Amino acid sequence: MTDKPARIKVAIQKSGRLTEQSLDLLQRCGLKYTKGPDQLIAFGENMPVDVLLVRDDDIPGLVRDDVCDLGIAGLNIVEEKRLHFLQQEPIEPFRILRSLDYGHCRLAFAYPDGSPLRNVASLEGRRIATSYPSIVRDYLRRQNVTATVVEFSGAVEIAPSLGRADAICDLVSTGATLIANKLREGETILESHAVLLQTPVQVPPEKAEWIGKLLQRVEGVMQVRESKYIMMHAPKAALAQIAALLPGSEAPTVLPLDGRDDRVAVHVVCRENVFWETLESLKAAGATSVLVMPVEKMLA
Ligand code: ATP
Ligand code: ZN
């Protein structure tokens, strides 16, 4: 056997709610790729990084088994599989490197309209339909509630009307599906978003270097999405007040304005979104010619 080239494999969802944003994230990290003929793998052209396109449910397992070095999946799937794997073997199956800023949803209980069930405490001795049996069992245990968990792989919301369960625990984003199925939303047990996973296995140095680089770029992409570059003219006397109005900003650059002693130009990077209210407050503090610009790239 010749040495395997040190290419990093990243597993992402093949087709679903996380696919577009996961591919977009990798592209923003500088990755250019061509898809293979079977559409199951995308080969990195300019970095030693290949992308495996799979079902989201398979991603935590692929990372745990070191088939892939990295993976992106929803925290809901990641946590469910983590609890499941921990039962088989009491060692952390993967490392969660960081949260990503998309795929937001929540895992929540829901109770049929008109039923006496209102909260988790009232579920004692009842049946709960879910696709997240490990998370739900773990939660019930911590709440000291004994109930039967009925596993559904999809269409959980119809379980009560089919007479298969008394309540459900499912992913919600807007809540429209619950309303359409005459269900009332209850306790949230997990706030979810996409996360970046890494294999628990020690990676060789050549790979570790690229993983480090990729992680730093992901960090940069996340920061840039929220960050704004702000320029304005402001009274010198109001500088402290203006700095206090800018969310998550570092020390501003202050430049003289030709022929003005009392006013300066202020340039600053804000690491949080800038809203109209902030601009109005800046104006009230004496700022003029306020410009807010998107940041293209950032390397902290
Ligand atoms: P696959 O074919 O890959 O198994 P799937 O049907 O299980 O796909 P999707 O519906 O595409 O998965 O959802 C993928 C992930 O998107 C979810 O696991 C969750 O983390 C996130 N997500 C965000 N909003 C929602 C939502 N409203 N409903 C379900 N999942 C959501
Ligand atoms: Zn799935």
- Mean pLDDT (10-residue bins), the chain, 300 residues: 74 97 96 89 96 97 97 98 96 96 97 95 97 98 97 95 97 94 97 97 92 95 90 95 86 91 94 88 96 87
In a domain, 256, yes or no: yes
181 with 130, same domain: the answer is yes
In a domain, 46, yes or no: yes
Specify whether the CB–CB gap between 15 and 58 falls below 8 A.
Answer: no
Taking Cα atoms as reference points, which of 164, 161, 160 lies closest to residue 109? 160
207 with 94, same domain: the answer is yes
Q: What is the CA(60)–ligand 2 centre distance, in A?
A: 11
Q: Which residues contact 12 (CB under 8 A, 6 or more apart)?
A: 18, 19, 22, 23, 26, 51, 52, 53, 54, 59, 71, 72
Nearest ligand to the CA of 176 is 1
146 with 267, same domain: the answer is no
Q: Ligand 1: which of 40, 54, 55, 56 to mutate, judged by most atoms within 8 Å of the beta carbon?
A: 56
- Ligand 1 site residues, Cβ closer than 6 angstroms: 13, 16-18, 55-57, 74, 76-77, 103, 105, 171, 173, 192
In which domain, by residue range, is 176 found? 105-191
Specify whether the CB–CB gap between 223 and 250 falls below 8 A.
Answer: no
DSSP summary character for residue 249: B
In a domain, 300, yes or no: no
12 with 26, same domain: the answer is yes
Give the pLDDT score at 147. Answer: 98
21 with 80, same domain: the answer is yes
Q: What is the CA(278)–ligand 2 centre distance, in A?
A: 41
68 with 122, same domain: the answer is no
Taking Cα atoms as reference points, which of 121, 119, 100 lies closest to residue 111? 119
DSSP summary character for residue 48: S
Q: What is the CA(129)–ligand 2 centre distance, in A?
A: 16
Give the pLDDT score at 1. Answer: 46
130 with 279, same domain: the answer is no
- Tell me whether residue 296 is exposed, middle or buried, using C-beta atoms within 10 angstroms of its C-beta: 0 to 12, 13 to 18, 19 or more: exposed
Q: Which of 166, 191, 216 is the last residue of a domain?
A: 191
Give dist(CA 138, CA 120) in Å, integer.
13
Nearest ligand to the CA of 177 is 1
In a domain, 3, yes or no: no
Nearest ligand to the CA of 76 is 1
Specify whether the CB–CB gap between 181 and 158 falls below 8 A.
Answer: yes
Q: Which of 224, 241, 268 is the last residue of a domain?
A: 224
**Ligand 1 atom nearest to 194, measured from its CA:** 20
In a domain, 112, yes or no: yes
Measured by CA distance, the residue closest to atom 12 of ligand 1 is 16
Q: Which of 134, 166, 191 is the last residue of a domain?
A: 191
Domain with 76 in it: what CATH number? 3.40.190.10
The pTM (predicted TM-score) of the whole model is: 0.87
- Per the structure, how many domains does the chain have? 3
121 with 262, same domain: the answer is no
Give the pLDDT score at 5. Answer: 62
In a domain, 2, yes or no: no
Specify whether the CB–CB gap between 10 and 72 falls below 8 A.
Answer: yes
What is the side-by-side order of every strand in the sheet holding 253-257? 253-257, 260-270, 228-235, 288-294
What is 158-172 written as a DSSP string?
A: GTTTTTS-SEEEEEE
DSSP summary character for residue 204: P
